[in-house]
Amino acid sequence: MDLHFTKMHGCGNDYIYLDCRETGLPEQVGEWSKELSRRHFSVGADGIICICPPMLADADATMRMFNADGSEGKMCGNGVRCVAQYLYTHGVPRDTIEIDTRFAGRKTLRRKGEGIWQADMGCFSAMAEALPAVGLGPGPLDWVTLVAAGKNWDASCVSMGNPHCVIPWPERETLPTGPALAAIGPEFEHHPAFPEGVNTEFVFVENPTSLIMRVWERGSGETLACGTGACATVAAMALRGVCPRDVPVDVALLGGTLSITVRSDGEVLMTGPAQVAFTGTVQV
């Protein structure tokens, strides 16, 4: 069958978007995500995001995301901005859009400019039960030592509706990427402290309002950006007293820059771009 899709990205975090508002979630979407996400051999992406009918009547749609390995993810910050942009140009031309998610609750998106959206990402949590994490204490897990890849790591563990492990890094020039990140990323992703896996962010602090981050995402590996990871990283640094609250913090990723504000009440705002790369049809 022919599958019509829209390829979109937020700061290079790219997904294949399927408009499922009339058809519902395809049964084969996990297998499609594994097949179509293969770069050089298929469409190529970090996964598939389905735009489904709203779970509740006052929402505009529901976002369901599937990683490149076919597993269903809990949340995608760059993806939810792209869903808002898609809806804005496909029948929902409003500056405020409400998007349900299966695992991370309702997200409110506000249009800030052409292709720029601010997402209310909800409150972060550093408690073990929220991630979940085991063997690290009940939390808050803002200062923990994690043994992985043969060494001890200074870490902060934060949930943004999905689990994150934030690792401060001492030098900008040596932030891991490519083979260096692939050598250690899976050690965190499959660490026994995280029974559901974990996304791992390595961060260098330029100054309190400017961070540089690299990310290994569970189910997808290294990506050019991770919206929830940027949120979790600023939240972790705010818990440690490194970054201020109620002030935008720029997080530079391989694919672009996101602006993250952690409020005094724990709410997190994320602002960044959402762009269409191309549309197409593929046989599945």
Return the structure tokens found at 183. 């050598």
Q: CB–CB of 232/124 below 8 Å?
A: yes
For the annotated catalytic residues, the residue numbers are 76, 226
pLDDT in tens, the chain (284 residues): 999 999 999 999 999 999 999 999 999 999 999 999 999 999 999 999 999 999 999 999 999 999 999 999 999 999 999 999 999 999 999 999 999 999 999 999 999 999 999 999 999 999 999 999 999 999 999 999 999 999 999 999 999 999 999 999 999 999 999 999 999 999 999 999 999 999 999 999 999 999 999 999 999 999 999 999 999 999 999 999 999 999 999 999 999 999 999 999 999 999 999 999 999 999 99
Strand partners, 267: 123
Mapped onto helix, strand or coil, the DSSP state of residue 137 is: coil
CB 254 within 8 A of CB 12: yes
| Residue that is written with structure tokens 């970054």 in the block | 243
